[in-house]
């Protein structure tokens, strides 16, 4: 079966710290695979958050580019409390792009976390609002 997963390439040796941070935020958070290089960097990492498998590693070289807000992880939250908790945790040390607010389509927030990964967080709206 063909599959597709987001893949996060960290340039500054932060892959393992990011995996630990992300899996600690979500109830189903789990590190599935963690393989290190002889230097201790992440050669292969796979984790699950919010029902989604994500791959990551520490790039062995620095690139002229990094994460961009043009690609983000979109999370639909079950409650306002979860939405606020996730936004606050991800915003710590990060850069809010759209502060948590109602932009006419329900509660929503858009930010880059402390690692530069972009997240869009929204509240799951009732079926009659979709």
CATH code where residue 100 lies: 3.30.720.110
Is the confidence at residue 37, as pLDDT, over 90?
Answer: yes
Residue 125 has pLDDT above 90, yes or no: no
Cα–Cα distance for residue pair 39/94, rounded to 1 Å: 28
pLDDT in tens, 62-105: 999 999 999 999 999 999 999 999 999 999 999 999 999 999 88
* Domain that residue 114 falls in: 72-129
The reply to whether 18 falls in a domain is yes
C-alpha distances in Å from residue 61, one per residue of 21, 43, 58, 89, 111: 23, 12, 9, 29, 26
Q: In the prediction, which pLDDT does 124 show?
A: 83
Shared-domain flag, residues 45 and 94: no
Is the pLDDT assigned to residue 115 strictly greater than 90? yes
Residues 125 and 76 in one domain: yes
Structural domain count, the chain: 2
Please state the rounded mean pLDDT for residues 107-126.
Answer: 92
């Amino acid at each position: 079966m063909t599959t597709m997963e987001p893949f996060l390439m960290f340039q500054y040796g932060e892959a393992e710290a990011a995996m630990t941070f992300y899996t600690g935020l979500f109830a189903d958070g789990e590190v599935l695979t963690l393989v290190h290089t002889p230097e201790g960097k992440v050669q292969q990492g796979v984790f699950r958050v919010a029902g989604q498998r994500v791959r990551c590693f520490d790039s062995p070289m620095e690139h002229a580019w990094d994460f961009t807000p043009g690609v983000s992880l979109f999370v639909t939250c079950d409650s306002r409390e979860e939405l606020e908790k996730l936004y606050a945790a991800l915003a710590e040390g990060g850069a809010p792009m759209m502060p948590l607010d109602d932009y006419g389509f329900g509660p929503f927030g858009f930010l880059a976390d402390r690692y530069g990964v972009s997240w869009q967080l929204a509240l799951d709206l009732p079926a009659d609002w979709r």
